[in-house]
Chain A
Amino acid sequence: MQSILVVDDEPDVRDSVKYVLDRAGYSVRTVESAMDAFAELARNPTDLLITDIIMPQINGVEAIESIRKTYPSVRIIAISGGGNFGVTEYHPTAITTTAYLASAEKAGAHLVLTKPFESDELIRSVEKVLGVGHA
């Protein structure tokens, strides 16, 4: 069973994503911050990381860059709902969803997904990143 780690500061987002992917047959764990994600990755082998981009403390783009370096085998999906607050510190011109996701892709994410999404979309994306037909 492939293991997935979901990183999002919104509990509802984490839980719903976990719920869908659990049902799809994946082993899903959730954390609420990038720091927790680093700890979790170090503790347990992980195939796929699904991470939000706009988060307090360490944002998604930084997390992706770091994880790509430390765990090159971990596949990554970046998710974002857009908005332009709290981002000026690291990306002053990127104020749009497209820009966040573009930065995430540049940082090494294998796929980007715009919030909100439906379960089909989520599952298809996960399958795509992990290799179709694996579930």
Chain B
Amino acid sequence: MARLRATFWIYVTACVVLVHLVLLPALFYGMGYVIRESHEDLFVDHARTFSRVLADEFEVGVALDSQTRTEDLLDFAITHGGARYAELYEQGRSTRSVYGSPDIKTPRTTDLSFGQGGDDIYFVVRPIVHALHHAELRLGFDEQPTQERIQIALTRMFWLLAVYLGVAIAIAIILSHRLSRPIQRLQAVSRAISSGDYTRALNVTTGIRELHALAVDLEAMRHELVGVNDRLEAKIKEKEISEVRREELQKQLRHRQRLETVGTLASGVAHEINNVLVPIMLFTDTALQDLPPSSAPRANLERVLAAARRAKDIVKKILTFSRELGEAKLALIDLREVVAEALHLFSVLAPPTIEIRTEIDQSIPLVRADTTLAVHLLINLCTNAYQAMEGAKGTLTIGLKYQEQADEGRMPRPRIEFSVRDTGRGMDAATVERIFEPFFTTRSVGQGAGLGLSVVHGIVESFGASITVDSKLGVGTTFRIFFPAVDRLEIIRDPVALVV
């Protein structure tokens, strides 16, 4: 049976058919036997009863003395008794009455049971007990009608059983279909589960208790798996997020460390260069005073002095980067004023091809910063943006947003996002990585010392704020500075705020 790979309903139907093929013939023969028996009994009873009644008639009456009377009674047996052959036999004399032409080979003198004799005639022989006559009544009853009735009954029964078989098969098919549907559903879901798909709900409604229980169990198992899967996914996601966060923090840390190292180095170098610049400037200066106004070396020395002044400016910027601005005079200021002042100054610098926009929230809390430095840093960022958009049309957007619920970044909330966005060339990841380092520049030699953004970084740090940069090549760059929002208590405690 294990090799039989038939569909469930075919299997069930085949079983039903097989069972009936065995049982129905037996039933048919059994019932046929009963039918036959009962018909025979009726027939035999009738034959015997009739022959007794007729024999009684001969015994008590005068029929034996009258030939006519005898014939009448025998005719009566033919016409009303269902016999086809009636004979009164008395000592070699035989009076007969016959209906039709029954093929009676040898009129029998003894009883024969139904169906025997091969001539469809059932014989009853009855002695007539009489004082004067010693006679015998011989009656032959026709078996044919009874045989036919039996045949009809058997035929009907056959058809009934055939109909029954058909109905049984039909019911088997329907029931097995109804049975196999939930099984198929269970199978589909368990297959889905085994292939890793836990999302298919098990909508099995069945009246069969075992299948229902199985469906309930499977559904519970699926739910459990979904739960386990969800928990696993959540855990993996959590781990991924914490991994990303850790990497981000490490990156920030590395970045800070590098900036600090560079800053320390830069300020050391700055100190040395300042010392070197003293004799250069002083000796050049005095030498110039000694030279006549139109002498050739004078022009050269003036260039030396100019170069020394430039060097002085550069060193000043390095020191700005290396936390010269730690000394910034922090007060509670309104960043909107900073934007207004910077725009006023920047409008002189910006070419007409650049459109300047502002996106400023209605109410912006005060922040702790230095107005002059904040203006300085905004101009720095704007200059960068403008250089990134040089030679093309572009939009520079300055934004001020209050974020009560910040979604990212290390600055705690609430905070203020101060952004400068340009539609310029953008930068690649490697550039973004090093953008705040002093002397890192994308400009060609002679266009700038590359201190702009490191100075911006220094200023931002001195405010206790943080800066991020987002850039996409060919799309543009956005610098975001996050200031922690100053809470009310702090404003009240701050004496500067009271003056403001």
* Interface of A toward B, CB cutoff 8 Å: 10, 12-13, 15-17, 19-20, 23, 54, 81-85, 95-99, 102, 114-120, 122
Contacts and interface: CB of A to CB of B under 8 A. Distances in A.
A25 B385 CA distance: 52
Nearest to A17: B282
Given A82-B270, A83-B272, A12 B326 contact: no
A97 B272 CA distance: 13
Contacts of B270: 81-83
Contact of A118 (B264, B267, B285, B315): B285
A119 B312 CA distance: 15
A10 B275 contact: yes
A116 B272 contact: no
A115 B268 contact: no
Given A17-B282, A82-B270, 8 more contacts: A13-B275, A19-B282, A84-B264, A84-B322, A95-B322, A116-B277, A116-B312, A119-B281
Contacts of B264: 84-85
A100 to B, nearest CB: 10
Interface residues of B, number: 30
16 contacts: A10-B278, A12-B279, A13-B279, A16-B278, A19-B283, A19-B286, A20-B286, A81-B272, A82-B271, A83-B319, A84-B264, A85-B271, A96-B322, A99-B327, A114-B274, A117-B278
Interface string B302-328: 000100100010010001001110110
B276 interface: yes
A128 B283 CA distance: 22
Nearest to B269: A83
Nearest to A52: B275
A12 B280 CA distance: 9
Contacts of A96: 319, 322-324, 326-327
A81 B279 CA distance: 13
A15 B279 contact: yes
A115 B267 contact: no
| Complex A-B, nearest 4 residue pairs according to Cβ-Cβ distance, in ascending order | A83-B271, A81-B274, A116-B277, A16-B279
Contacts of B275: 10, 12-13, 81, 115-116
A35 B326 CA distance: 32
A115 to B, nearest CB: 4
A13 B315 CA distance: 17
Interface of B is mostly: helix
Nearest to A11: B279
Contacts, number: 99
B274 to A, nearest CB: 3
Contacts of B268: 83-85
B2 to A, nearest CB: 87
A104 to B, nearest CB: 14
A97 B319 contact: yes
Max chain B CB contacts within 10 Å: which of A16, A19, A98? A16
Max chain B CB contacts within 10 Å: which of A12, A82, A114? A82
A95 B260 CA distance: 13
Nearest to B318: A82
A21 to B, nearest CB: 10
A83 B273 CA distance: 10
Contacts of B271: 54, 81-83, 85
Interface in B350-377: none
A95 B461 CA distance: 15
A37 B327 CA distance: 31
A98 B324 contact: yes
Max chain B CB contacts within 10 Å: which of A17, A19, A95, A122? A95
Interface string B109-122: 00000000000000
Contact of B327 (A13, A15, A85, A98): A98
Nearest to B277: A116
Nearest to B326: A96
A97 B324 CA distance: 7
Max chain B CB contacts within 10 Å: which of A85, A98, A118? A118
Nearest to A12: B279
A77 to B, nearest CB: 13
A81 B268 CA distance: 10
A61 to B, nearest CB: 15
Interface string B382-408: 000000000000000000000000000
Nearest to B274: A81
Nearest to A95: B323
Nearest to B265: A85
A117 B319 contact: no
A71 to B, nearest CB: 25
B282 A122 contact: yes
Contacts of A13: 275, 278-279
B260 to A, nearest CB: 11
Nearest to A116: B277
Nearest to B319: A82
A102 B324 CA distance: 13
